[in-house]
């Protein structure tokens, strides 16, 4: 029985076409759908018992699933793209994520042709397993502050890898703790007693025969992390070197080379390329944000349509909680954000692929913008997603707190995304630096790409919003101009404040809070703009484009309402115009309402991937919650172990004293 069928009948757009719009293309949809079903129908990938397992069982279970996934990849001859989807739908962080997601990309991006030829075939056949060992106990954000050393020994043509202090211990790398045989290790290069910056080195950590650590290497897991199950399926590790020798040709040498004689040769490639793997992964994290947020929103939306509280008239049904305006005002902006992040990630991927191609042809001019966009959007989308998942839990009331709602585990797995691949504040400060530089160069350099609007800064500073009615906000030009003006005015105001400091670094440190706000406003502008640009494309299917238009305005006007202080303080909007935007937002929520269930169905998630009783496709929530409670191990017996030993004596004592 489909308890949500009436809801599904309310929608006025073609859900199958929306699924394609969400996926990006019919090919991508079919590929993803095939992999989702493959995983959902395979009992090896069951995940409901995960939160009940102890750490050792949990990790072993992950190894079993990863081995099974690898077997499927080989047996079914899956492409790299199919394998990525398969791992995504298995939905369990594993050492293989870092092997495929960082170790291999680090070699691809920073290795020479010779190094790629040697290491990539081994890695791609999984004859070696690698991780990305950058962060240390003492330093994560400050990469130049890393302490591990790689000292060149001209006599033996080797580097000596060493951990000189406790704080130089590598700490956090996923896959390092128990599984990696190799790592790309980031260390200070020392040649002839001189420090030559941080570089990547391929280091073997464990024997390929018996997996024991090689001489001079101390390696292990760093211990339990937040939440049951969740990210504990990953063996984040600690690593120390005691004068471990590796051949010279294991330094990744695309950026700088060290010759046999101990000479440093710089190629034309900028030093920043050493950070290139992070640019790649940050871009994938933006796509993951839309997946995580859409999962949470799918659960909260379906449950909000099933759940009823108050409002019964003449004994009739109570009100579905999704019909409360307050519920809509919390839920629908998250639904719109999931779509917004999906489309901005699509754009970011194309920007990244373009930069990658240019880098391969030794053209580096677009790297700073790629860095700013990936850093800023990673920060913006992961912060909003982490907060959004928690909001979805609250939107589901008490039942959202049950593990069987799927939300606690999703939250626990997701929140480190605000920290890994760059702390979100640190990353926004990088965007701020980029914007300050752009503003300071306005007189002699025309800004391009996502900062092109800065080129119109004079007019953006003067012109105020012309919106007169609530309908007036349903105009892409009016909305985009509002976001451009706010970002440009905030950037200019900050630049003026910075100019008052004699020392720019001192000014930057003092004004960091304002600078982060400028960076956030710039990144929100990018997301809004890319959503409108998406709507310019041909999007087939009855009502699909119209529904996306509604979501685009919800996203933009929700942000405008939330940050109206900025819009008002910069003088671009009047209080009346801000309140017209809010009135329009209420109208938009009413337009989303009948389509809400269809809009989350369009994510095309299987019940397996959602992993939530509240978010079940059929809406059959209460019987399944009731059934699941009885499956809890505590309900194996009526009288629990420990009762007779610890509780009964207390009760008896009470009875005894009561008699007295
Ligand atoms: C289910 C999965 C299925 C399949 C798997 C497939 C894909 C998934 C992939 C991976 C899995 C995803 C997640 C897994 C989970 C966790 C993995 C986590 C991994 C990690 O966390 S790795 C460690 C990450 N660490 C960081 O991010 C550190 C943050 N710090 C920095 O980035 C920098 O050091 C910082 C903050 C930029 C330092 O700034 P500073 O100014 O001190 O630096 P420099 O002086 O060195 O440089 C200044 C100069 O360089 C420019 N710049 C800085 N960074 C970059 C860059 N990345 N690219 C290009 N340019 C950069 C900066 O703008 C300055 O330029 P300027 O001189 O001003 O022109
Ligand atoms: C689950 C998980 C997986 C990870 N996987 C890996 C991995 O595979 N490989 C790897 O190498 N690393 C990995 N990391 C490490 C991760 O990249 C770092 O933790 C991250 O970059 C943040 O650095 P940090 O821990 O040094 O934080 P810190 O920089 O110490 O941050 C602490 C606080 O200081 C603030 N702060 C720091 N610098 C500044 C500044 N300049 N201005 C203002 N505020 C500042 C931050 O905002 C934050 O509030 C992982 C981390 C986690 C949690």
* C-alpha 375 – ligand 1 centre gap (Å): 8
Give the pLDDT band (50/70/90) at residue 657.
low
The closest-lying atom of ligand 2 relative to the alpha carbon of residue 424 is 47
Given a cut of 70, whether residue 660 has pLDDT beyond it is: no
User: Which ligand sits closest to the CA of 378?
Assistant: 1
Q: Using one digit for the tens of pLDDT, what is the confidence trace for 275-317?
A: 999 999 999 999 999 999 999 999 999 999 999 999 999 999 9
Percent of the chain with pLDDT over 70: 99
User: Residue 338: exposed, middle, or buried by beta-carbon count in 10 A (0-12, 13-18, 19+)?
Assistant: buried
Give the pLDDT band (50/70/90) at residue 359.
confident
Q: Using one digit for the tens of pLDDT, what is the confidence trace for 383-435?
A: 999 999 999 999 999 999 999 999 999 999 999 999 999 999 999 999 999 99
What local confidence, expressed as pLDDT, does residue 267 receive?
85
Given a cut of 80, whether residue 658 has pLDDT beyond it is: no
For the segment 606-627, the average pLDDT, to the nearest whole number, is 98
Q: Using one digit for the tens of pLDDT, what is the confidence trace for 204-249?
A: 999 999 999 999 999 999 999 999 889 999 999 999 999 999 999 9
What is the SS3 assignment for 244?
strand
Given a cut of 80, whether residue 154 has pLDDT beyond it is: yes
Mutate to test the pocket of ligand 1, among 88, 101, 131 (most ligand atoms within 8 A of CB): 101
User: Which ligand sits closest to the CA of 365?
Assistant: 1
Q: What whole-number distance in Å separates Cα of residue 57 and Cα of residue 46?
A: 14
Q: What whole-number distance in Å separates Cα of residue 288 and Cα of residue 88?
A: 9
Q: How many CB atoms lie within 10 A of CB 426?
A: 15
Candidates 2.60.120.10, 2.40.110.10, 2.40.40.20, 3.40.50.150; correct CATH number of 101-267?
2.40.110.10
Percent of the chain with pLDDT over 90: 94
Mutate to test the pocket of ligand 1, among 79, 186, 275 (most ligand atoms within 8 A of CB): 275
User: Residue 222: exposed, middle, or buried by beta-carbon count in 10 A (0-12, 13-18, 19+)?
Assistant: middle
User: Which ligand sits closest to the CA of 421?
Assistant: 1
Mutate to test the pocket of ligand 2, among 184, 278, 423 (most ligand atoms within 8 A of CB): 423
For the segment 519-538, the average pLDDT, to the nearest whole number, is 98
Please report, for the chain, how many H helices and E strands are present, in that order. Answer: 24, 11
* C-alpha 582 – ligand 2 centre gap (Å): 37
Q: Which residues pair with 132 in a beta bridge?
A: 184
Q: Which residues pair with 217 in a beta bridge?
A: 241
Cβ 45 vs Cβ 36: under 8 Å: no
Ligand 1: does its nearest atom lie under 6 Å from the Cβ of 279? yes
Among protein residues, the one with the nearest Cα to ligand 1's atom 26 is: 422
Ligand 1: does its nearest atom lie under 6 Å from the Cβ of 281? yes
Q: What whole-number distance in Å separates Cα of residue 444 and Cα of residue 447?
A: 10
Given a cut of 80, whether residue 656 has pLDDT beyond it is: no
Mutate to test the pocket of ligand 2, among 98, 106, 138, 140 (most ligand atoms within 8 A of CB): 140
Among protein residues, the one with the nearest Cα to ligand 2's atom 16 is: 420
Signed CA dihedral, 107, 109, 110, 115: sign only? positive
The closest-lying atom of ligand 1 relative to the alpha carbon of residue 142 is 34
The mean of the pLDDT values for the chain is 96
Q: What whole-number distance in Å separates Cα of residue 28 and Cα of residue 101?
A: 20
* C-alpha 542 – ligand 1 centre gap (Å): 42
Given a cut of 90, whether residue 659 has pLDDT beyond it is: no
Q: Which residue has the tokens 């484009």?
A: 545
Residues near 272 by Cβ (< 8 Å), separated by ≥ 6?
A: 367, 371
* C-alpha 172 – ligand 2 centre gap (Å): 10
Closest CA to 4 of 334, 322, 364: 322
Q: Using one digit for the tens of pLDDT, what is the confidence trace for 550-583?
A: 999 999 999 999 999 999 999 999 999 999 999 9
Calculate the alpha carbon distances from 393 to 93, 297, 342 in Å.
Answer: 22, 9, 21
Which tokens go with 458? 């004079």
Active site residue 81: no
Q: Using one digit for the tens of pLDDT, what is the confidence trace for 9-68?
A: 999 999 999 999 999 999 999 999 999 999 999 999 999 889 899 999 999 999 999 999
Q: What whole-number distance in Å separates Cα of residue 63 and Cα of residue 622?
A: 34
The catalytic residue among 158, 421, 481, 549 is 421
Query: Would you kindly state where each structural domain of the chain is located, as residue ranges?
Result: 101-267
Buried b (16+ CB within 10 A) or exposed e, 536-556: eeebebebbbebbbbbbbbbb
Q: What whole-number distance in Å separates Cα of residue 163 and Cα of residue 141?
A: 18
Please name the helix (run of DSSP H) or strand (run of DSSP E) that holds residue 158, with its range, or none.
strand 158-162
- Which residues form ligand 2's pocket by a CB distance below 6 Å? 98, 132-135, 139-141, 172-174, 231, 236, 416, 419-420, 422-423, 425-426, 429
What local confidence, expressed as pLDDT, does residue 362 receive?
85
* C-alpha 426 – ligand 2 centre gap (Å): 9
Q: How many CB atoms lie within 10 A of CB 422?
A: 24
* C-alpha 420 – ligand 2 centre gap (Å): 6
Q: The sheet that has 170-171: what strands, in order across it?
A: 170-171, 237-241, 217-221
Q: What whole-number distance in Å separates Cα of residue 115 and Cα of residue 356?
A: 18
Q: Using one digit for the tens of pLDDT, what is the confidence trace for 183-199?
A: 999 999 999 999 999 99
Which tokens go with 582? 């809010």
Q: What ipTM was predicted for this assembly? A: 0.96
Q: Which residues pair with 569 in a beta bridge?
A: none
200 among annotated binding-site residues: no
Cβ 435 vs Cβ 507: under 8 Å: no
Residue 159 φ/ψ, nearest 5 degrees: -100, 145
For 166-210, give the secondary structure using H, E and C: HHHCEECCCCCCCCCCEEEEEEEEEECCEEEEEEEEEEECECCCC
Q: Which residues pair with 187 in a beta bridge?
A: 199
The closest-lying atom of ligand 2 relative to the alpha carbon of residue 134 is 11
pTM for the whole structure? 0.97
Strand duo 149-153 + 194-204: pairing: unpaired
What local confidence, expressed as pLDDT, does residue 653 receive?
87
Among protein residues, the one with the nearest Cα to ligand 2's atom 51 is: 420
166-170, 353-357, 377-381, 488-492: range with lowest mean pLDDT: 353-357
User: Which ligand sits closest to the CA of 130?
Assistant: 2
* C-alpha 419 – ligand 2 centre gap (Å): 5
* C-alpha 266 – ligand 2 centre gap (Å): 29
135 among annotated binding-site residues: yes
Ligand 1: does its nearest atom lie under 6 Å from the Cβ of 171? no
Which tokens go with 347? 């754009």
Distance from the Cα of residue 421 to its chain's centroid: 9
Given a cut of 80, whether residue 86 has pLDDT beyond it is: yes
Given a cut of 90, whether residue 379 has pLDDT beyond it is: yes
Ligand 1: does its nearest atom lie under 6 Å from the Cβ of 563? no
Given a cut of 80, whether residue 321 has pLDDT beyond it is: yes
Rg, Å, the chain Cα set: 27
């Amino acid at each position: 029985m489909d308890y949500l069928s009436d809801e599904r009948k309310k929608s006025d757009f073609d859900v199958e076409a929306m699924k394609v719009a969400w996926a990006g293309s019919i090919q991508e949809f079919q590929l993803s759908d095939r992999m989702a079903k493959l995983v959902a129908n395979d009992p090896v990938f069951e995940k409901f018992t995960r939160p009940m397992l102890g750490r050792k069982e949990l990790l072993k279970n992950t190894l079993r699933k990863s081995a099974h996934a690898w077997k499927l990849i080989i047996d079914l001859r899956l492409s790299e793209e199919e394998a990525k989807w398969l791992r995504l739908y298995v939905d369990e962080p594993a050492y293989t994520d870092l092997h495929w997601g960082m170790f291999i990309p680090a070699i691809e991006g920073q290795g020479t042709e010779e190094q790629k030829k040697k290491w990539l075939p081994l890695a791609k056949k999984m004859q070696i397993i690698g991780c990305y060992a950058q962060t240390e106990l003492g330093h994560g954000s400050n990469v130049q502050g890393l302490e591990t050393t790689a000292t060149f020994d001209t006599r033996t043509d080797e580097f000596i890898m060493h951990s000189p202090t406790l704080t130089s211990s590598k700490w956090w790398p996923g896959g390092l703790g128990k599984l990696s045989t190799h790592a790309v290790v980031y260390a200070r290069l020392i040649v002839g007693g001189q420090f030559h910056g941080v570089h990547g080195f391929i280091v073997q950590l464990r024997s390929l025969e018996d997996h024991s650590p090689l001489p001079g290497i101390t390696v292990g897991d760093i211990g339990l992390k937040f939440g049951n199950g969740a990210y504990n399926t990953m063996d984040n590790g600690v690593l120390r070197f005691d004068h471990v020798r590796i051949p010279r040709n294991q330094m990744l040498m695309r950026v700088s080379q060290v010759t046999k004689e101990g000479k440093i040769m710089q190629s034309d490639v900028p030093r920043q390329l050493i950070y290139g793997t992070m640019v790649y992964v940050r871009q994938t994290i933006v796509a993951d944000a839309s997946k995580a947020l859409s999962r949470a929103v799918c659960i909260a939306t379906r449950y909000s349509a099933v759940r009823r509280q108050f409002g019964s008239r003449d004994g009739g049904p109570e009100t579905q909680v999704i019909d409360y305006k307050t519920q809509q005002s919390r839920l629908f902006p998250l639904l719109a954000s999931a779509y917004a992040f999906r489309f901005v990630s699509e754009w970011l991927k194309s920007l990244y692929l373009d930069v990658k191609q240019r880098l391969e042809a030794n053209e580096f001019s677009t790297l700073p913008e790629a860095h700013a966009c990936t850093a800023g959007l990673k920060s913006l989308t992961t912060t909003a997603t982490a907060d959004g998942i928690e909001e979805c839990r609250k939107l589901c009331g008490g039942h959202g707190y049950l593990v069987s709602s799927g939300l606690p585990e999703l939250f626990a797995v997701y929140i480190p995304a605000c920290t890994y691949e760059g702390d979100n504040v640190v990353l926004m400060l990088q965007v701020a630096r980029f914007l300050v530089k752009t503003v300071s160069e306005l007189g002699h350099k025309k800004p391009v790409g996502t900062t092109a609007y800065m080129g119109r800064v004079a007019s953006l500073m003067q012109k105020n919003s012309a919106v007169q009615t609530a309908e007036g906000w349903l105009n892409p030009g009016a909305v985009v101009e509002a976001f451009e003006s706010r970002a440009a005015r905030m950037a200019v105001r900050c630049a003026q404040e910075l100019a008052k400091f004699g020392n720019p670094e001192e000014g930057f440190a003092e004004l960091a809070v304002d600078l982060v706000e400028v960076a956030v406003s710039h990144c929100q502008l990018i997301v809004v703009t890319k959503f409108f640009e998406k709507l310019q494309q041909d999007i087939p299917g009855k009502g699909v484009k119209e529904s996306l238009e509604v979501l685009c305005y919800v996203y933009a006007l929700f942000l405008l309402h939330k940050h109206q202080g900025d819009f008002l303080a910069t003088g671009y909007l009047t209080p009346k115009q801000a309140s017209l935007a809010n009135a329009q937002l209420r109208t938009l929520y009413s337009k989303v309402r009948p389509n809400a269930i269809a809009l989350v169905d369009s994510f095309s998630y299987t019940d397996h991937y959602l992993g939530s009783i509240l978010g079940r496709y059929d809406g059959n929530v209460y019987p399944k919650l009731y059934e699941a409670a009885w499956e809890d191990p505590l309900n194996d017996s009526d009288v629990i172990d420990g009762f007779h030993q610890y509780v009964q004596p207390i009760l008896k004592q009470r009875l005894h004293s009561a008699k007295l």
